[in-house]
Chains A and B, each alone.
Chain A
Amino acid sequence: MKGRIDTGGFGWVILGSLICFLAWRVRLGTFSEPGPGFIAFGAGSFLCVVGIIMLLSGLVSPASTEERVPWDRLFPRGVRLRLAYTVLLLFLYTMFLDKLGYVIGTFLLMWGLFLNWERPRWVTSMVASLVTVGVTYLVFEVWLHCQLPRGILPLG
């Protein structure tokens, strides 16, 4: 294992350099008058230094590369679909929340999640979703005035 390059370290060096570049573009300033990119440049430099240390430690010590867990064990095939479904549902919800509004959007999200995770009869999950939306609407919109998105219904 000795002498293997740690690609993770390489990635951090690239990311750090990118942050440094972006910070430099908005002006670093000087020590007597630090600019808006001053601290961001520092954070980017940190990433670069850590990346370089990881790269070097990969070359001189087998420890960091030996402990790598294979990708398939980290994200087993069986769970990928379930996970992707949840993430997709959340993504779509956030994307259309403004257009659909809190009541409809949240009802669909909850229904989708209840159906996926519990798999009860669809009526049960529909009622559960309706109750959840109703209660949270009363608490957050009516009582706490959270200004939830209105969407296509005159509610929210």
Chain B
Amino acid sequence: MLFSWDYLLQGFATACTLQNLMWATIGCLVGTLIGVLPGIGPSSGIAILLPLTTVLPPTSAIIMMAAIYYGAMYGGSTTAIVVNIPGEASSVPTALDGYAMARQGRAGPALAISAISSFVAGTLSLVGLTFFAPVLANFALAFGPPEYFALMFMGLSLVISLSGRALLKGIISMALGLTASLIGQNPLTGASRLTFGSIEMMAGINFISVIIGLFAISEILINVEHSVKLMYDTKVRDWMPKWADVRQCIGAMLRSTGIGFFLGLLPGCAPAVTTFVAYDVERRVSKHPERFGKGAIEGVAAPEGANNATTSGGFVPLFAFGLPTGPALAVLLGGLMMYGLQPGPMLFKQNPQFVWAVIASMYIGNVILLVLNLPLVGMWARIALIPFPILGPLIILFSVIGAFSIRFMLFDVWVALIFGGIGYLMRKLGFPIAPMVLATVLAQMLETSLQQSLLISQGSPLIFFTRPIAAVFMVLALASIFRGVWVQVRNRGPEVPLEDEE
């Protein structure tokens, strides 16, 4: 894959035709709407709309599909911030601080900073995609099962910081999440476990249902208990962030761009992982980590930036090797093949106009998203002003539809309901929810990579320390665990989970 200014400028010329601009705008709008609707993620959104694009020329169709993808990634943050429903696992860290900001009457600035951070990270990572794709794609190929396991293990070590001072409760939450997500079939052998003979349970527990239950349904139950009139009765203070807010987030945006983009190059490393990592890094580098979980604006900027950077990063292995790094990109790959385009090094040689037009359209799409969404911040934030007796039933309904539409199974609705109850009890008893979500998201990949690694090493766990990249991740994870435990032991104090700290 060779970079050429001529191709890039030609790409911009193609992307800027009236027709392509229109499809990019439609894609951004539809994508944002898909992101806002819980349960309808980018993968299902693209899959549903793919057949409808057959009437369009290939370039316009893929421009629109890509716009739906990053539009949906942006839209997912809206409900996470305003009503505490992360439609996607990647929006969970955004909800931690975004919803806290909304409760303080700052839903507007939270939504705006999310749009700005998405734009900055999306654009910067596109620069990476444009100039460094071949080198970066090779870096991604250096990752084997041991590196993936080490990365996932490092991800799990975030439980320490996500648990606040309730470390034991955080570990319990993680262990329960891990167990729940192991229900079903083993991804490698197909053997079923913890299913109690139920056919539905053999399909496994989908983490979106778990998230919907833990966040949306439990939130409603808490509100029912308090007979609230509004989801939060704080007066809306301002609609837009102040310059000081933006300045405070610049570091977070840049760091999350790097994290999101580089981890986004790895197949299987979904935005759900990168957003958690970016959130944790931000908490660690912050001079006031105690503000996180209580409405720190960097806690919104970091995961949102990482989310969009991962989206752009994922296009590097997709275009360079035909490797989709996530389900949504796999559907997009299907779209490319539907048009007779085979991604890989030859794609850049045989169809340079097409590839560079899509890349150029992504720059334009990011601008369109910002221009479309900043003025709409007030509209989205006003959702929270709908009286709870009206909003509450609607949230329940959207949660049910969201859970059902994942696999069109009633079982998923039951899962959401059960985890709603579990989430409610956890909140009441002071158990942090985030570690459970993290474990649910990481479990399958953790298990697969562990099994593969041990098979490769013939049972020797030393494989995680003899390969350089894996060793770095393992050392970082272990250091983080020991530090967390040490801090916990030294500061003996009342256990307060991160989400509930007041």
Residues of A within 8 A of B (CB): 12, 16, 19, 22-23, 26-27, 30-40, 42-44, 46-47, 50, 53-54, 61, 63-64, 67, 74-75, 79, 82-83, 86-87, 90-91, 93-94, 97-98, 106, 109-110, 113-114, 117-118, 128, 132, 136, 139-140, 144-149
Contacts and interface: CB of A to CB of B under 8 A. Distances in A.
Nearest to A8: B429
Interface in B389-409: 389-390, 392-394, 396-398, 400-401, 404-405, 408
Contacts of A27: 191
Interface string B38-72: 00100000001000000000000000000000000
B428 A54 contact: no
Contacts of A35: 189, 191
A44 B179 contact: yes
Contact of B405 (A12, A50, A144): A144
Contacts of B428: 74-75
B227 interface: yes
Contacts of B388: 117
- Most B CB atoms within 10 A — which of A36, A46, A67, A132? A36
B168 A50 contact: yes
Contacts of B446: 39
B459 A33 contact: yes
What is the interface residue range for chain B against chain A? 35 or more
B405 A128 contact: no
A148 B405 CA distance: 8
Contact of A83 (B186, B221, B408, B454): B221
A91 B270 CA distance: 33
A31 B461 contact: yes
Contacts of B461: 31
A34 B404 CA distance: 33
A39 B492 contact: no
B249 to A, nearest CB: 34
Contact of A39 (B224, B226, B394, B450): B450
Nearest to B414: A94
A148 B402 CA distance: 11
Q: Which 5 A-B pairs have the closest CB atoms?
A: A32-B459, A118-B389, A31-B459, A117-B389, A113-B393
Interface of B: 37, 40, 48, 168, 171-172, 174-176, 178-179, 182, 186, 189, 191-194, 217, 220-221, 224-227, 387-390, 392-394, 396-398, 400-401, 404-405, 408, 410, 413-414, 417, 420-421, 428-429, 443, 446-447, 450-451, 454-455, 458-461, 492, 494-495
B182 A146 contact: no
A41 to B, nearest CB: 10
A33 to B, nearest CB: 7
Contacts of A110: 393, 397
A83 B224 contact: yes
| A-side interface mostly | helix
Nearest to B391: A117
Given A32-B459, A33-B455, A132-B397, A118 B390 contact: yes
Contacts of B393: 109-110, 113-114, 117, 132
Nearest to A53: B168
B390 to A, nearest CB: 7
Given A67-B495, A82-B227, A106 B397 contact: yes
A17 B408 CA distance: 34
B401 A140 contact: yes
B221 A87 contact: yes
A37 B393 CA distance: 40
A73 to B, nearest CB: 10
Contacts of B400: 93-94, 106
A146 B401 contact: yes
B158 to A, nearest CB: 16
Contacts of B421: 87
A144 B443 CA distance: 30
Contact of B413 (A39, A74, A94): A94
Contacts of B398: 136
Given A94-B417, A145-B48, A147-B408, A82 B225 contact: yes
A117 B179 contact: no
Given A46-B175, A109-B397, A63 B193 contact: no
A127 B18 CA distance: 43
A74 B224 contact: no
Given A46-B171, A140-B405, A36 B192 contact: yes
Given A75-B428, A136-B397, A31 B410 contact: no
B221 A86 contact: yes
Given A32-B455, A94-B413, 6 more contacts: A50-B171, A86-B221, A94-B414, A110-B393, A113-B396, A117-B224
- Most A CB atoms within 10 A — which of B168, B413, B429, B447? B168
B261 to A, nearest CB: 30
